[in-house]
Amino acid sequence: MEGTSGSSVPGLSSLTNTLHSLSINNSSNNSNTSQPSSSANGTQSQTNGSSGAAGSAAGGASASSSIIPIISRTEQKKAKAVSDAIDKSLRADKERLQKERGAKLLILGPSETGKTTVLKQLKLLYGRKGLDAERQTYRRVVHLNIMKAIQSLCYGLQRANIPLEHAENIAHLETVMRLEATLKRYSITSIGFTNPAIPRKITDAKAETDMFLDMVPAIRALWADGGIQETFRTGANLNLQDSARYFLDSVDRIADLNYVPTDDDILQARVRTLAVSEHIFNIDGVTYKIFDVGGQKSLRKYWA
């Protein structure tokens, strides 16, 4: 039996070798089969990873686009303050432009209705600087107003056949009556200008003053005469200005060499407006252009 067990069985060694070889081949095949599977799994893992990354990126983009920035209360107040400042500046610019644009006014009406007097009142209130510069011109206007007034009274006295109270005043009456041509020459039709047909000279102002001062004694005597006073009371178809009494009562004051017209004198002074004059006033920051147009029929074409 020992001998039998110790001896080799025919073909057993060959069978063992064959089985061993098959076992090795099988292990090798199993190993090769598992590698593609791992590779596939790896590929799938990479794919899933890429998909996950893409999804995360897309999700992040979507999330970032839907985020609303939060502004603090302090920033809101600052933004409102800036907006209010801009609105205020725009309103101020609009008001400034409206004021610069200003307004235009036209003073219209028949003669002797006080159009120029209204303008002088505006000058006293809002344009005193310009009016003060015109005071010396108004001095001549006042002188001429007085001479025209006494001349009109003398004409009225003659037309009404009213005798003079004092015979010595006849010479004064004749002196005044001879002034008609001279007064026409010096007739002021607008402040600063005389009759446009007669050239204005620098010496004219002195000539007017001298003429007035020479006439003061006659004017004073005639105005105090009972005949002239009666003529004034009755009217006698006089072409008198409503300021005649005011100036004739003040002749001594006005005859002073240092006389400067007062505000009341300027308001009472009468000047015929024979042209369109423009005057500019600034009232409460608004510029007004005021046009004074004469009331004569020849000037009414300028009313339109």
Q: What does the chain come to in residues?
A: 304
Q: Give CATH for domain 135-272.
A: 1.10.400.10
pLDDT digits (tens, 9 = 90+) for 106-157: 887 777 777 788 888 888 888 877 778 888 888 989 999 999 999 999 999 9
| pLDDT beyond 70 at 209 | yes
**Which of these, 178, 200, 202, 180, lies nearest to 189 by C-alpha position?**
200
pLDDT band at 66 (very low <50, low <70, confident <90, very high): low
Binding site listing: 112-117, 242-243, 267-273, 292-296
d(CA 231, CA 164): 10
Least confident among 15-24, 181-190, 222-231, 290-299: 15-24
How many whole angstroms separate alpha carbon 169 and alpha carbon 185? Answer: 25
β-bridge mates for residue 288, sequence order: 103, 281
pLDDT digits (tens, 9 = 90+) for 162-181: 999 999 999 999 989 887 76
| Annotated binding-site residue numbers for GTP | 112-117, 242-243, 267-273, 292-296
CA distance 199 to 217: 30
Taking residues 228-237, what's their average pLDDT? 87
pLDDT of residue 216: 95
In contact, 300 and 110? CB cutoff 8 Å: no
pLDDT grade, residue 78 (50/70/90)? confident
Where do the domains of the chain lie? 102-133+281-304, 135-272
The set of residues, in sequence order, having a beta carbon less than 8 Å from that of 216 and lying 6+ positions away, is 251, 255
Structure tokens at 290: 């005021």
pTM of the model: 0.59
User: How many percent of the chain have pLDDT more than 70?
Assistant: 62
Q: How far is the C-alpha of 41 from the C-alpha of 43, rounded, in Å?
A: 5
State the binding site for Mg(2+): 116, 273
Q: What is the mean pLDDT of residues 22-40?
A: 47
**What single-letter DSSP state applies at residue 250?**
T
Mean pLDDT of 295-304: 53
The span from the CA of 234 to the CA of 165, in Å, is 16
User: Which tokens is 302 given?
Assistant: 């300028």
Q: Tell me: the pLDDT tens digits for 244-273? A: 999 999 999 999 999 999 999 999 998 876
Average pLDDT of the chain to the nearest whole number:
73
| Residue the block writes with tokens 């003659």 | 158
Q: Token match 């009562």: residue? A: 249
Nearest by Cα to 138 from 208, 215, 194, 192: 192
> Does the pLDDT of residue 191 top 70, yes or no?
no
Answer whether residue 200 shows pLDDT above 50: no
pLDDT grade, residue 99 (50/70/90)? low
The fraction of the chain above a pLDDT of 90, given in percent, is 26
How confident is residue 18, by pLDDT bands cut at 50, 70 and 90?
A: low
* Cα–Cα distances in angstroms (integers) from residue 23 to residues 17, 26, 27, 30, 295, in the given order: 10, 5, 6, 11, 140
